[in-house]
Structure 1
């Protein structure tokens, strides 16, 4: 699946050997400011196909497939899918690309890793856009509890029930139930998170489904969830050792998923949350459902530009 910049030029694909794996990434744009884009589940760097042409005039964009996803390696182990390891992957990727300082935009699982990267590389990260996620260890786990309030939250618009956190974390069982039904499962999983289900276009869905069917693809995705408690412990340690983030932080939530919980979570870890948005009539996939508004927010927040 190809992506194009604002001039119609295809992005550049590459593979970097970082932190013991081979990572696929795309690079585009010639802006003086570098922006690292980190996707969620079950997506890949192709998730940004609508957003990239709206940003490449202003930024140098780097967008990897995270460890376990897409064309990046999926090590045959239960270790290494945690946020500390992912932060090291991403730090080494930017060093490999000779980019010292950069902004980060992360959504979903990518936002969790974005926090870990920002807290680990405070001298390199210029600003953080933390979107449609709660930080592991700081509110995310509670959304998975089987309570009446959580289960009915979607009908009241005052919370979210992340039933999949526990399901994905169980060893072996999700693989048994999803394999052979990847298309049905991931279509249901992604469209139910959207305000407008047609935002998940067929070609993109088929790409992500096919990636999940690669050797190790489904297991790689699930291992990022099985690392959840390790992530929580790591994030608590980052806060204890380094204190709250001091760089500028923007949050964006959507009513069909995390909504105001995004800001509530990251404020426990960041001093300077100076912009918070709620995208009405939007769900969990901001870059697909509201690409123009998201691009404008990123430009305004990171560049001070309209």
Structure 2
């Protein structure tokens, strides 16, 4: 297991917690107000290894492996991989750690779960950072269609062709095709979404791919995509009561760009802070960790 260190050079604390019927692995470090970090696909807590030391002087950071990922349980599909179930998972984790209210930052699929958490536990989430994601049923699927516009989206000012969404949704087929070639597939896929491919280290790839090759790892990852239609139903219900808490968004020109702010504006009373990071791709916490940390501190602490 690759290690993460805080701002003082101390290793983060690893833990296991029983939360919402599963056993979750998480890391925690730092001091100050609690900040929950929710990773995307196909990653785990190690995604935050550059960002955590920039935050722990100001926040008590908690970074779990989400359901189906890393060292957290990967239950059968019928046990639920949708956004609201994931929101309940991390809410139970934070409650068990003694954090009654907290800030939340999510990227990629973790941002959708962060939105669901803010919408279902409004008394607990103090601020929301929703980054590099669109919501299921609210625009995400439209960018997965095989159209001339989507195929060429990467060459335009905004938009991206997320071809993998319907592919990962198909039962069994992705597992059959990816198994045995995990390194080739995931390294290409992750780096293709970046502005700077070298920002994705060999250590990070080794960590994520070893988890994907472990029992249930690849299936757990795919189940988060197979929950997309349930996520869409969740979001259709959740958006009927708009979010009122302070929200920040960050997009990257190599991926969702300005679409991220537009997305949150539709489901809230307004976005307080928004940015599109120049010369950056989908993995914000690895490609623009300094800019992201500064924006999180300003948004959540006012400094």
TM-score higher than 0.5: yes
Structure-1 separation of matches of 2:29 and 2:270 = 29
In the alignment, the residues of structure 1 paired with residue 137 and residue 34 of structure 2 have an alpha-carbon distance, to the nearest angstrom, of: 29
2:246 pairs, out of 232, 248, 272, with: 248
| 1:234 pairs with 2:250 | no
Aligned counterpart, 1:282: 280
Residue equivalent to 2:35:
35
Q: Hey, what does 1:2 align to over in structure 2?
A: 3
Contact preservation (8 Å) 2:264, 2:270: no
How many residues are paired up? 302
**Dislocated runs of 4+, deviation >3 Å:** none
For 1:165 and 1:133, how far apart are their aligned partners in 2? 13
How far did residue 106 of structure 1 move? 0.2
For 1:103, the equivalent position in structure 2 comes to 103
User: How far does residue 78 in structure 1 lie from its aligned partner after superposition?
Assistant: 4.1
1:1-306 equivalences under 5 Å are: 1-31=2-32, 33-240=33-240, 243-305=241-303
Asked whether the 8 Å contact 1:40–1:107 carries over to 2, the reply is yes
CA distance, structure 1, for counterparts of residue 302 and residue 179 of structure 2: 46
Q: Equivalents in 1 of 2:268, 2:129: separation in Å?
A: 12
How far is the alpha carbon of 1:77 from its aligned partner? 2.8
User: Shift in Å at residue 76 of structure 1?
Assistant: 2.5
* 1:156-204 deviations in Å (ceiling 9; x for gaps): 2321100000000000110010000000000001000000000000011
Aligned equivalents of 1:258, 1:5: Cα separation in 2: 30
**SS of alignment partner, residue 16 of structure 1:** strand
Segments of structure 1 that go 5 or more residues without pairing to the other structure are none
Q: Distance in 2 between matches of 1:156 and 1:274?
A: 26
| Residue deviations 1:21-68 (CA, integer Å, cap 9, x gap) | 10000010011x110000001110000000000000000000000000
Q: For structure 1, which segment, 267-276 or 291-300, has the greater mean C-alpha deviation from structure 2 after superposition? A: 267-276
Aligned to 1:268, the other structure's residue is in SS state helix
Q: Kindly report the root-mean-square deviation, in angstroms, between the aligned alpha carbons of the 2 structures.
A: 0.7
d(CA) in 1 for partners of 2:79 and 2:60?
Answer: 32
Return 5+ residue gaps in structure 2 as ranges: none
Does 138-147 or 222-231 show the bigger shift? 138-147
> SS at the partner of 2:209?
helix
SS of aligned partner of 1:183: helix
The answer as to whether partners of 1:28 and 1:56 remain within 8 angstroms in 2 is yes
Q: Are the counterparts in 1 of residues 158 and 256 from structure 2 also a CA contact under 8 Å?
A: no
